[in-house]
Structure 1
Amino acid sequence: MILDIFFPNRCIHCNRIIDGDLLVCNVCFEQIHFTHFNFFENNYILEKCKLLFPIENAFALMQFEKENLSRKIIHELKYKSREKVGKILAEWTTERLDFKNEKPDLLVSVPLHPKKLKERGYNQLHLFTEILSKFYEIPFSHDLIKRNYYSKAQALKNRQHRLEIENTFSITKNISGKNILLIDDVFTTGNTLSSIAWEILKTGNNKVNILVMAMDE
């Protein structure tokens, strides 16, 4: 296509020209710090979550270290209008996450406040969740959780502000007896996921698992 000639797709890290459906070149791909966690075994994010709420299993795709390529990837997805990055991250996830014969019943994405959704134009988790849903043949819900208050981006908050999230979320419908996989982009303090997890847990005999694109130690 003409656009590909004049505006070729480039690696977000080294600026090398790459195929249109890629995000980084092969050389830079090797610099991404994948966690290699096993969903059903003890791992760092599972231990962090256990301190906050009852949890079954947890998985993080990448490490979210300072100056790390994974941080640049997430920022491309969230702040640079590149929603399709979610598809690439989902594909990387399916190559590394095996549910075996114990698949969750439902995939649930962390919501944006309607005002934030309008500002960004998309929820960075929706395409990611939908690709996973299709691959694993697990239904998903983007509206089970409601965000009650508008807030600044996590990257712009100080630590104290991040802790002020009580009653931020609510459940839109009654669910019971479900094994839910709660999906978010980055695990930092874990307070956002904890707030949602408790809402899910108190609605019925539900179980909560966690999947994040990246985790910040």
Structure 2
Amino acid sequence: MAEFWRKILDALFPRGITCDGCGRELTDADDRSLSLCKTCSSVLVNNVLKPISVLQCDVYSAFEYDSVRDLILRCKDESCPYLAATIAGLTYRFFVEKNISADVVCYVPCGKKARERRGYDHMEHIAEEFSARSGLPIVHALERVKETSDQTVLTAEERFENVRDCFVGKIDLTGKTILLLDDLVTTGATLSAAIHALKTRSQCKVVCLTLGKA
């Protein structure tokens, strides 16, 4: 099914023709594999951060949020699911550079209302694209069982309370190292809830990777 939708998106939005960052036509000097021009690529590459820890799990973020903000928001809220390929490509490149290892790839699912509004789960698309690049099997190991308020309007303390017990682990992944993908980490509240759900379900190791860090 993932391959079917990838072919549909490729037909509707051919990759490697225009830059997903600024929209200009790509040349041979640009990074066609990521659909980014040389200028946009150079801005992103200079923002690599050291990992932080959430529930004793490493959380890697490829870029400062400001440099990828427009890319994330367009993928999430402007009906641009094809940008999942660019985001997955950027995170996969970072994954390789940092020599991160995992057995499977998982993602933080969006809420039911957000999925209905957008018509898709952007993180699911990103995880599918990441799986295709990395060869890691994708597992739909998390289920969001509680609708939450908009995190952006809450304090750090309120964010942790807002997402408390909002996920459950669906699959026993005991003995596996799970690569958990999300688009952004701010306080770590959402990742904390997701990690807790995975570790409650399985005796597993979790490594997190986000495109941006605020």
For the aligned pair, the TM-score class normalised by the smaller chain equals 0.7 to 0.9
Match of 1:202, SS?
A: helix
Measured in 1, the distance between the counterparts of 2:46 and 2:189 equals: 23
Query: Contact conserved, 1:33 with 1:70, CA < 8 A, in 2?
Result: no
Distance 1:96 1:174, change over 3 A: closer
Q: Which residue of 2 aligns with 1:127?
A: 125
Query: Contact conserved, 2:131 with 2:137, CA < 8 A, in 1?
Result: yes
Match of 2:44, SS?
A: coil
How many residues are treated as equivalent by the alignment?
195
* Residue 192 of structure 1, CA deviation: 0.6
Match of 2:75, SS?
A: helix
Counting aligned pairs with the same residue, the percent is 23
Residue number among 16, 41, 44 corresponding to 1:29 in the alignment: 41
Give the CA RMSD over aligned residues: 3.0
Q: Which residue of 2 aligns with 1:40?
A: none
Measured in 1, the distance between the counterparts of 2:74 and 2:160 equals: 26
- Please list every run of 5 or more consecutive structure 2 residues that lacks an aligned counterpart in the other structure: 1-11
Higher helix share: 2
Q: Which residue of 2 aligns with 1:53?
A: 55
Q: Deviations over 1:36-79 (max 9, x none)?
A: 45xxxxx2x32xx2xx4022x43212111xxx331111111111
Scaled by the length of structure 1, the TM-score of the pair is: 0.76
Query: Contact conserved, 1:110 with 1:183, CA < 8 A, in 2?
Result: yes
Q: Which residue of 1 aligns with 2:106?
A: 108
Residue number among 81, 96, 99 corresponding to 1:98 in the alignment: 96
Q: Which residue of 1 aligns with 2:73?
A: 75
Measured in 1, the distance between the counterparts of 2:174 and 2:145 equals: 22
Q: Which residue of 1 aligns with 2:159?
A: 162
Q: Deviations over 1:121-168 (max 9, x none)?
A: 1111122211221222111123x1111122344335454542222111
Match of 1:174, SS?
A: coil
Amino acid at match of 2:115: L
Measured in 1, the distance between the counterparts of 2:61 and 2:205 equals: 18
Measured in 2, the distance between the counterparts of 1:100 and 1:189 equals: 23
Measured in 1, the distance between the counterparts of 2:164 and 2:176 equals: 24
Residue number among 175, 184, 187 corresponding to 1:186 in the alignment: 184
* Residue 35 of structure 1, CA deviation: 3.8
Measured in 2, the distance between the counterparts of 1:81 and 1:127 equals: 12
Match of 2:193, SS?
A: helix
Amino acid at match of 1:58: V
